[in-house]
Amino acid sequence: MHAELDTSSYPTGIQVSDDEIAALPITRHRFHGDWNYTLHSQHPMDAETTDSTSDPAPASRPLRLTRRSLQNPELTGMTRQQLSELIDALTPALEVQREQVLRTRRGHERLVATGTGAKAKLTPADRILVTVLHLRKLATMDLLGQLFDVTAMTISRAKQEVRPLLEAHGHHINTSTARLRTPADVATFLAPDSTQTKVKKTS
């Protein structure tokens, strides 16, 4: 590594928009991704497309995003056990809330057995998960819609339903420093970090 003093003058007060930042070929690191990141000469996905002569090894292929992978503590900011307990605590209230909404729409009590009729696009567990991820400021509603195969409006409605319940139960969701723009960003973020070295604790 080489460093030297740059004595040149540069203009100050230049502002960079969020859209300009989002367009940069950046891979954010797991730890404080707003501060620690790799800036590529071209977008990693573009580089893969350009280098079409070699087939990447299976270990380097993007992680397949599943509901379980989206429950990763790196994304939710809580352990899987804590998330499970949160879902168990809020689901009954969500189901009661949904039944009240449907009753209002129908104008009368349910005429068929519970569980029949049109299915909700998101399960109660999914609605809680998408709300947690959005409150973490990890992803936009558009991205969450892509990840859960629904519209951004469905994500917005889920958040409107779940957020008051979180507040009523005293659950505070901490924001993350990571900002993910595409499903590929999420897969890269969750991929095993080969640059991190585990330090064995000694007595």
pLDDT attached to residue 200: 41
Query: Backbone phi, then psi, for 60, in 5-degree steps?
Result: -100, 0
Q: What pTM value is reported for the model?
A: 0.62
pLDDT digits (tens, 9 = 90+) for 51-105: 444 444 444 444 578 989 999 999 999 999 999 999 999 999 888 877 666 556 6
Of 31-40, 47-56, 138-147, 174-183, least confident by mean pLDDT is: 47-56
pLDDT digits (tens, 9 = 90+) for 4-29: 998 988 888 888 776 676 677 777 66
Residue 32 has pLDDT above 70, yes or no: no
pLDDT attached to residue 59: 43
Q: Are 133 and 144 in contact (CB under 8 A)?
A: yes
Q: What value does the mean pLDDT take over residues 178-199? A: 75
pLDDT attached to residue 142: 94
Residue type, 65: L
Task: Give the pairing type, strands 26-28 and 37-39.
Answer: antiparallel
Tokens of 102: 């449907």
pLDDT attached to residue 151: 94
Distances (CA, A) of 19 to 15, 22, 23, 24, 35: 12, 5, 6, 9, 17
pLDDT digits (tens, 9 = 90+) for 96-153: 877 666 556 656 565 555 555 556 788 999 999 999 999 999 899 999 999 999 999 9
Q: What value does the mean pLDDT take over residues 190-201? A: 55
